[in-house]
Amino acid sequence: MIIAVDGPTASGKGTIARALAAHFGLPHLDTGLLYRAVGKQTVLNGGNPDDPLDAARAVDFPDSLLDDPDLRSETSGALASRVSVHKEVRAALLERQRAFAAQPGGAVLDGRDIGTVIAPDADVKLFVTASVAARADRRYAESLSRGHEVTLEDIRADLAARDERDRNRAEAPLVEAVDAILLDNSDLDANASVAESIRLVEEAL
């Protein structure tokens, strides 16, 4: 069973994907982390994240980089969004994600293009979204709890910029798959959002 969970930044798709994986006993891949690692490795190499060749060279990042807590920062998210526009980067990460999805028992993957590009035949596709205001408030609270110094205005501006870039890029833009189930959790807290996602997936199976 493959469950695809897509949606914009700070929609809660990561929390939902982890909870679905635990509920159904499936392995989970946070694909955003791969793009974050590529972004960080590009900078570590002294490269320019907007240069396709520099970014593509960074797909060989060491696996240990995936454990770096800095990958969760806003800076790493913004870098990920910049390297993820390059088709060379997306192509290099494609097989890794498809192989994960093809595990015998199935898997849960979350990202932007799981239901459209990585696993178009997924058994269930969820598209998780929420208003910009709700997502900015969540990301702000999360950043403060991680000890990052940020302002709500900066978070809002960054969210809007990333939404714009993710939705309008030529390669695998963030778009709802035609057969995806929409979950707008603007008015739900994390627990209610997880419960609703489990209900929707069970209903769809």
Q: Residue 127, SS3?
A: strand
Is 49 near ligand C5P (CB under 6 A)? no
Query: Which CB sits closer to ligand C5P, 49 or 111?
Result: 111
| Spatial CA neighbour of 173 closest among 117, 104, 106, 98 | 117
Which segment (59-67, 99-107, 110-118, 150-158) binds ligand C5P by CB under 6 A? 110-118
Return the residue of 112, 125, 138, 139 that touches ligand C5P, per CB under 6 A.
112
Burial 101-128 (b: 16+ CB within 10 A, else e): beeeebbbbbbbbbbbbbbeebebbbbb
Which segment (27-35, 122-130, 150-158, 187-195) binds ligand C5P by CB under 6 A? 27-35
Binding residues: 7-15
Helix, strand, coil shares of the chain, percent, nearest 5, are 60, 10, 30
Return the residue of 2, 28, 32, 65 that touches ligand C5P, per CB under 6 A.
32
Strand order in the sheet with 28-30: 28-30, 107-111, 2-6, 124-129, 181-184
What is the C-alpha separation between 179 and 195, in angstroms, rounded?
A: 21
Which segment (111-119, 120-128, 153-161, 180-188) binds ligand C5P by CB under 6 A? 111-119
Query: Which CB sits closer to ligand C5P, 84 or 197?
Result: 84
Is 115 near ligand C5P (CB under 6 A)? no
Residues that bind ligand C5P (CB under 6 A): 9, 31-32, 35-36, 77, 80-81, 84, 111-113, 162, 166
